[in-house]
Structure 1
Amino acid sequence: MASRRLRLLLLGYLGVFCYHKVTGIAIETDNKNVKAEEFKEAILSCKHKFSKGMSLRIEWKKIQSQEVSFVYYNGEFTVPPTTPICVVPNSAMTGTVVELSCKEAEGSPPSEYQWYKNGVALLEKTGTGSARTANITYTMNKKSGTLIFNTVSKNDTGEYFCVASNGIGLPQKCSMKRMQVDDLNVSGIIAAVVIVALVMALCGLGVLYAQKKGYFTKESSSQKSNSQSTSEKDFKHTKSFVI
């Protein structure tokens, strides 16, 4: 199939941004409307004039829908983060270990993650003895995106979401999810244990009652009688056959 010729309309949105310390830079291109075959080479030109001694930095940016989708600078691509995937348990029991996770895989450089509870950013425990972080019962890792409660409490109930950012484009956040923390139902556990114990006790009493009434003895005697009757019949049959 013949190669499709694509008009790279995105190049119409491709901006050349020159960062400098002073004004007086002129920028132009040989072709503002580049055509190229799909999966083939495309050449974009950026000509610039500037005064000697100026500090110059050139970046290529792809802009779609007023958002920067990637930046090419110094031989490397930089890509803004995508919407992260957050894993938040719906419920948890007090005193247990609970882990929340947040991750996105498209950003370059890798994204850092910030967790929020009820719309307020959670503090990161620095270990410096700050009064604000002294009572923190969780561990937030901004590199991996994990939020771990070593002993979760009812005070940790709330709406959680995470924001991913890497300095390129706009930060992205996942949808808000609620985590409900409840006390362990001790009375329910005790009731269940009592019910199981009663059932086992009733079963034991039933077995003792059956033994006392001789149900197991009668069944054993019946099986023995049937066995003897079968043996006598077999003997008689064998004797008549020999004669």
Structure 2
Amino acid sequence: MSMEGQTSVWILLLILLVQCCPSLSVTVTTSKQKVEVREFADAELSCTFRTERDQNPRIEWKKKAKDVSFVYFDGQFRGPFEGRASMAGATVTLRRVTQEDAGEYRCEISAPLDSINLGETNVTLTVLVPPDTPSCEIPATAVTGATVRLRCSDRQSVPPAKYAWYKDDLLMIPPRYANASYLIDVLSGLLEFKAVAKKDSGRYSCRASNGVGKPTLCQPQHMNIEDVNVGAVVATALVVSLLLLVCGCGAFLVRRNGFLARRTGRRSNANYIPPPQEPQDFKHTQSFML
């Protein structure tokens, strides 16, 4: 084959290779899809891109909630991010984040000169919050044998806190068997006594922890368990029963003797008006008097 023939073959192969290779389009990626930072720390939302031809693509950041709102648009930050965020390439850094900043963000790159001119990637931001002092509900008194519930809660911590209970400054271990005298739910903060006894009297407090910051405790409170006075309860019940019996017998005797009927009859006679006399009776009386 001549030199010209070989050249033609190479040119043909090159054309076929160019036509068969897929065209490159804008691609968008992130180095970290889930970002977790402490409250009031800085958060970096990574976004990198590559374009086919367009060397000056449009960069936009949006936050997805009930409605989609702009974070970065037309070369500047918007809304609550104005003045507290910076851009490096397409990567955003948010300063001193709070719970209001937590959510899902989307980085969009628009390259009109590329074959496929739009690419995007998502980043989820979680703002970690240590537990505040938990709110504790501890009854001051209870009677033996009663079911008693102690509650502990903290609604501010992220992730949600787990709870532990202390009695007289000693950690109460959650029981592993069903017939234990008490139960502890470490997720809801509930401490439940199925039937309290005198030995359950003491100072109780609750600890909340979520791995962010230091655990917090509520103020200890004393719960006193008192015995039920069985004798007084029985005596009271007997007295009440006796009174009911006496009242019932008295009412029965009154009705039986017709006492109420006689009282009713006397009231009706007092208001009785005799009928007028006939004329002949009047004449007879007049003649009798003469």
Q: Which TM-score tier does this pair reach, normalised by the shorter chain?
A: 0.5 to 0.7
Structure number with larger C-alpha Rg: 2
Q: How does 1:207-218 map to 2 (within 5 A)?
A: 207=251, 215-218=259-262
Q: 1:15 to 1:111 in 2, by over 3 A?
A: closer
1:223 Cα deviation from its structure 2 partner = 3.2
- Residue 83 of structure 1 is matched in structure 2 by 133
Supply the distance in 1 between the matched residues of 2:232 and 2:239 (Cα, whole angstroms).
Answer: 11
Residue identity in the other structure for 2:203: E
How many residues are paired up? 185
1:62 Cα deviation from its structure 2 partner = 5.7
Residue identity in the other structure for 2:83: A
Residue identity in the other structure for 1:43: R
Residue identity in the other structure for 2:84: I
1:124 Cα deviation from its structure 2 partner = 1.2
Q: 1:43 to 1:214 in 2, by over 3 A?
A: closer
Supply the distance in 1 between the matched residues of 2:217 and 2:250 (Cα, whole angstroms).
Answer: 62
2:199 counterpart SS class? helix
CA RMSD of aligned residues (A): 4.1
Identity of aligned residues (%): 29
- Residue 157 of structure 1 is matched in structure 2 by 201
Supply the distance in 2 between the matched residues of 1:117 and 1:174 (Cα, whole angstroms).
Answer: 12
Residue identity in the other structure for 1:75: L
1:175 Cα deviation from its structure 2 partner = 1.1
Q: How does 1:98-177 map to 2 (within 5 A)?
A: 98-127=148-177, 136-177=180-221
1:203 to 235, 247, 251: 247
1:148-189, Cα deviation, whole Å (9 max, x unpaired): 111211111111110111011111111111111122221111
1:80 counterpart SS class? coil
Q: 1:62 to 1:40 in 2, by over 3 A?
A: closer
1:188 to 224, 232, 239: 232
1:172-209, Cα deviation, whole Å (9 max, x unpaired): 11111111112222111111112212323443455467
Supply the distance in 1 between the matched residues of 2:191 and 2:79 (Cα, whole angstroms).
Answer: 44
1:120 Cα deviation from its structure 2 partner = 0.5
Q: How does 1:5-16 map to 2 (within 5 A)?
A: none
Does the CA-based 8 Å contact 1:16-1:46 persist in structure 2?
no
Does the CA-based 8 Å contact 1:160-1:178 persist in structure 2?
yes
- Residue 24 of structure 1 is matched in structure 2 by none
Residue identity in the other structure for 1:152: V
Residue identity in the other structure for 1:225: N
Supply the distance in 2 between the matched residues of 1:185 and 1:38 (Cα, whole angstroms).
Answer: 67
2:84 to 43, 51, 54: 43
- Residue 3 of structure 1 is matched in structure 2 by none
